[in-house]
C-alpha cells in the first residue's frame, strides 16, 4: 500500500479488548477465594456491575478498532476514528518532535506496539499527537525510521544498562508508597464487596500473631515487613523500567533511548528541541551521592518535568559522576564539562526568609495542639512540647539546607540555577533558547531587595526560577545570559534596563 493510502490497525488488537474482562473475573475469583465460595447479594450486585461496565467498555473498544484508519502522507500523519463521535487528528511531518514506541505486556505477547507521534504543541487543552494503538512490531519500527530521519542506526552508546545501579533503586522510596497503595486498594476492594476482614483466614492469622507479640515487636515487625516489601518493589520496578537500557546517538543531531522489560519504550530526542537538562538529587539519593537526569525538551510537556518522570528521564538513578557525564554527552559537550561547575550563592536575605518560613510552619502545627491542650486536656500540651522538640531542629535544618542549595550563574553557553530541599535540582538551560524573562517580587522580597527571576524556555514547565537573588545581581545575570534580548529592549525602552 502506498504512503498516501489509508491503513487499519492490526487485527490482533481485537484480542486486547478481552483484557477488559480480566479485572471483573479476577475480582470474582478473589472474592470466592476469600469467602470460601460464598457470595452475598451485595457482592453479587457489585461484581455484576463491574462485569457489565467492562463488557460495555470492551464493546466500545471494538467499535473504535473497526472505525480507526490512519495514513502516513508525504506532508502529514493522519488518524480518523469513531462511529458516533468522529475524531480526526493530524500532525505535520515537519512539526514532529517525538516518536515514542511502547508496548504493554499484552501488546508484547501479541507482537504489537503503540506509536505516539507528537508535535509538542497544544490545541484545545490537549497535546497535538497521533496515537496508533495496535500495529505490528515491524510496522512500528518502519514508522519510527521514516518519521525520524536523523536515526543512523547502531553507534557507540552514551550509556547502557549496568547492574551496579541497582543499589540506587531502594533509595527512590516509591516502593514503600507502592506497597501502601496495594494494601489500601485491597482493603477498599473487600469493603466494596462487604467482606469482613476478620472472616478472611490469613488476615485473622496475621492479627492473632501480632497481638501475641510484645508491644514493641508488634510495631517494629510490620514496619520491617513493609520496608522489605518496599525494597523488593523498588528493585522490581527498576528492573522492569530500565531493562535493556541503551542511550545512543541517532545521527549527528539526535539521541535515542531504549528501555523496558514488559512495557518497552523507544524515545527519539532531537537536539534541536532540547532546551537543557535537569539533575535532581532527592535526599536518599543525595546521601548515597546519586542523582537522576532528565531532559528539558519541547514535546515532553510540563507533566514530564518532574524528576520522577520516566518519559523525560535520560538515565536511571545513578551516581552523580555518571549523571554529569551523560548530561554533557546529551548536550553535545566534551567529557568532564560539568566537573568545574560552581554557582554564586544566594544573599543572606534568602536564608532569613527560609528560617522565617520554618518557624512559621512549626507554629502552625503547634498552635492547635496548644489551644486544645489548654481547653481540653493537658495531655495535648505534653504532645505539643515533645513534637516541638523534634520539629524545630528539623525545620531549621531544612531551612538552612534549602538556602545552601540555592545558586545561579553562567557556565559556558548555559544558564544554571539550583534550588530545592528534599529534592535539590540543578537546571542547565541553553542561553540561546531563552525566550523571555519574568521578574517576580513579593512585598517581603521588595523590602529585602531580592527577587525571583524566571527564564522562559517554552519547554518542560515553561519557565525555570532563580529564587531570591539580589535584584541588581539578577538583572546583571539576565543581561549577561541574553545580551541580544536586553539590547533590543534598550532600543525600545532604555529606562527599563537602566540605560541612560
In sequence order, the 6+-apart residues with CB closer than 8 A to the CB of 197 are: 187, 190, 203, 204
256-267 per-position pLDDT tens digit: 888 888 777 777
Q: Tell me the three-class secondary structure of the chain, residue by residue.
A: CCCCCCECCCCCHHHHHHHHHHHHHHHHHHHHHHHCCCCCHHHHHHHHHHHHHHHHHHHHHHHHHHHCEEEECCCEEEEEECCCCCEEEEEEHHHCCEEEEEECHHHHHHCEEEEEEEEEEEECCEEEEEEEEEEEHHHHHHHHHHHCCCCCCCCCCCEECCHHHHHHHHHHCHHHHHHHHHHHHHHHHHHHCCCCHHHCHHHHHHHHHHHCCCHHHHHHHHHHHHHHHHHHHHHHHHHHHHCCCEEEECCCCEEEEEECCCCEEEEEEEHHHEEEEEEEEEHHHHHCCEEEEEEEECCCCHHHCCCCCCCCEEEEEEEHHHHHHHHHHHHCCCCCCCCCCCCECCCHHHHHHHHHHHHHHHHHHHHHHHHHHHHCCCHHHHHHHHHHHHHHHHHHHHHHHHHHHCEEEEECCEEEEEECCCEEEEEEEEHHHCCEEEEECCHHHHHHCEEEEEEECCCCCCEEEEEEEEHHHHHHHHHHHCHHHHHHHHHHCHHHHCCC
Is 65 within 8 Å of 9 (Cβ atoms)? yes
* Average pLDDT score over the chain: 81
Report the alpha-carbon distance of residue 309 to residue 460 in Å, rounded. Answer: 11
In sequence order, the 6+-apart residues with CB closer than 8 A to the CB of 109 are: none
Q: Tell me the three-class secondary structure of 220-231, residue by residue.
A: HHHHHHHHHHHH
Report the alpha-carbon distance of residue 165 to residue 144 in Å, rounded. Answer: 29
- C-alpha cell of residue 355: 528560617
Residue pLDDT tens, the chain, 500 long: 444 578 888 888 877 766 666 666 666 666 666 666 666 666 677 667 777 777 777 777 777 778 888 888 888 888 888 777 777 888 888 777 667 777 777 888 888 888 888 775 544 444 567 888 888 888 888 887 777 655 545 578 899 998 889 899 888 766 667 677 777 766 676 666 566 666 666 667 777 777 777 777 777 877 788 788 888 888 888 888 898 899 988 877 788 888 888 777 777 788 888 899 999 999 888 999 999 999 998 866 544 455 556 678 899 999 999 999 999 999 989 988 998 889 999 999 999 999 999 999 999 999 998 998 888 888 888 888 999 899 999 999 999 999 999 999 999 899 999 999 888 999 999 999 999 999 999 999 999 999 999 999 988 778 899 999 999 999 999 999 998 887 755 444 445 554 43
Q: Please enumerate, as own/partner, the contacts of 388-392 that have beta carbons within 8 Å and a separation of 24 or more.
A: 388/362, 391/362, 391/365, 391/366, 392/362
Is 299 within 8 Å of 118 (Cβ atoms)? yes
Report the alpha-carbon distance of residue 243 to residue 260 in Å, rounded. Answer: 5
183-217 per-position pLDDT tens digit: 776 667 666 656 666 666 666 777 777 777 777 77
Q: What is the pTM of this model?
A: 0.75
Amino acid at each position: 500500500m502506498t504512503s498516501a493510502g489509508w491503513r487499519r490497525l492490526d487485527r490482533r488488537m481485537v484480542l486486547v479488548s478481552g483484557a477488559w474482562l480480566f479485572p471483573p473475573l479476577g475480582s470474582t475469583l478473589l472474592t470466592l477465594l476469600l469467602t470460601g465460595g460464598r457470595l452475598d447479594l451485595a457482592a453479587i450486585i457489585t461484581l455484576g456491575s463491574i462485569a457489565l461496565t467492562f463488557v460495555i467498555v470492551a464493546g466500545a473498544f471494538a467499535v473504535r478498532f473497526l472505525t480507526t484508519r490512519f495514513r502516513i502522507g508525504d506532508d502529514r500523519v493522519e488518524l480518523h476514528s469513531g462511529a458516533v463521535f468522529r475524531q480526526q487528528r493530524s500532525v505535520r511531518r515537519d512539526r514532529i518532535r517525538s516518536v515514542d514506541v511502547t508496548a504493554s505486556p499484552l501488546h508484547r505477547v501479541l507482537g504489537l506496539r503503540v506509536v505516539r507521534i507528537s508535535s509538542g504543541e497544544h490545541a484545545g487543552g490537549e497535546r497535538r499527537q497521533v496515537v496508533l494503538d495496535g500495529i505490528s512490531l515491524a510496522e512500528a519500527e518502519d514508522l519510527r525510521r521514516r518519521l525520524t530521519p536523523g536515526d543512523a542506526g547502531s553507534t557507540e552508546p552514551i550509556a547502557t544498562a549496568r547492574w551496579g545501579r541497582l543499589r540506587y533503586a531502594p533509595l527512590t522510596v516509591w516502593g514503600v508508597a507502592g506497597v501502601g497503595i496495594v494494601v489500601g486498594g485491597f482493603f477498599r476492594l473487600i469493603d466494596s464487596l462487604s467482606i469482613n476482614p476478620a472472616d478472611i483466614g490469613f488476615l485473622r492469622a496475621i492479627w492473632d500473631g501480632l497481638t501475641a507479640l510484645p508491644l514493641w515487636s508488634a510495631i517494629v515487625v510490620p514496619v520491617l515487613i513493609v520496608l522489605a516489601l518496599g525494597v523488593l518493589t523498588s528493585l522490581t520496578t527498576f528492573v522492569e523500567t530500565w531493562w535493556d537500557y541503551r542511550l545512543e546517538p541517532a545521527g549527528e543531531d539526535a539521541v535515542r533511548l531504549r528501555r523496558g522489560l514488559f512495557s518497552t519504550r523507544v524515545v527519539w530526542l532531537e537536539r534541536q528541541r532540547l532546551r537543557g537538562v535537569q539533575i535532581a538529587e532527592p535526599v536518599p539519593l543525595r546521601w548515597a551521592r546519586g542523582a537522576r537526569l532528565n531532559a528539558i525538551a519541547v514535546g515532553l510537556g510540563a507533566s514530564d518535568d518532574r524528576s520522577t518522570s520516566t518519559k523525560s528521564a535520560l538515565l536511571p538513578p545513578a551516581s552523580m559522576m555518571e549523571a554529569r557525564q551523560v548530561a554533557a554527552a546529551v548536550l553535545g559537550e566534551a567529557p568532564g564539562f560539568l566537573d568545574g561547575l560552581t554557582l554564586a550563592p544566594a544573599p543572606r536575605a534568602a536564608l532569613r526568609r527560609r528560617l522565617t518560613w520554618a518557624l512559621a510552619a512549626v507554629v502552625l502545627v503547634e498552635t492547635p495542639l496548644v489551644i486544645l491542650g489548654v481547653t481540653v486536656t493537658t495531655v495535648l500540651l505534653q504532645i505539643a512540647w515533645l513534637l516541638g522538640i523534634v520539629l524545630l531542629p528539623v525545620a531549621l535544618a531544612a531551612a538552612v539546607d534549602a538556602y545552601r542549595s540555592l545558586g545561579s550563574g553562567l557556565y559556558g553557553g548555559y544558564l544554571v540555577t539550583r534550588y530545592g530541599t528534599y529534592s535539590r535540582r540543578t537546571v542547565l538551560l541553553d542561553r540561546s533558547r531563552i525566550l523571555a524573562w519574568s521578574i517576580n517580587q513579593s512585598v517581603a522580597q521588595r523590602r529585602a531587595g531580592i527577587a525571583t527571576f524566571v527564564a522562559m524556555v517554552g519547554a518542560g514547565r515553561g519557565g525555570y526560577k532563580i529564587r531570591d537573588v539580589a535584584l541588581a545581581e539578577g538583572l546583571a545575570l539576565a543581561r549577561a545570559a541574553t545580551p541580544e534580548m536586553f539590547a533590543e529592549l534598550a532600543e525600545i525602552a532604555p529606562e527599563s534596563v537602566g540605560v541612560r
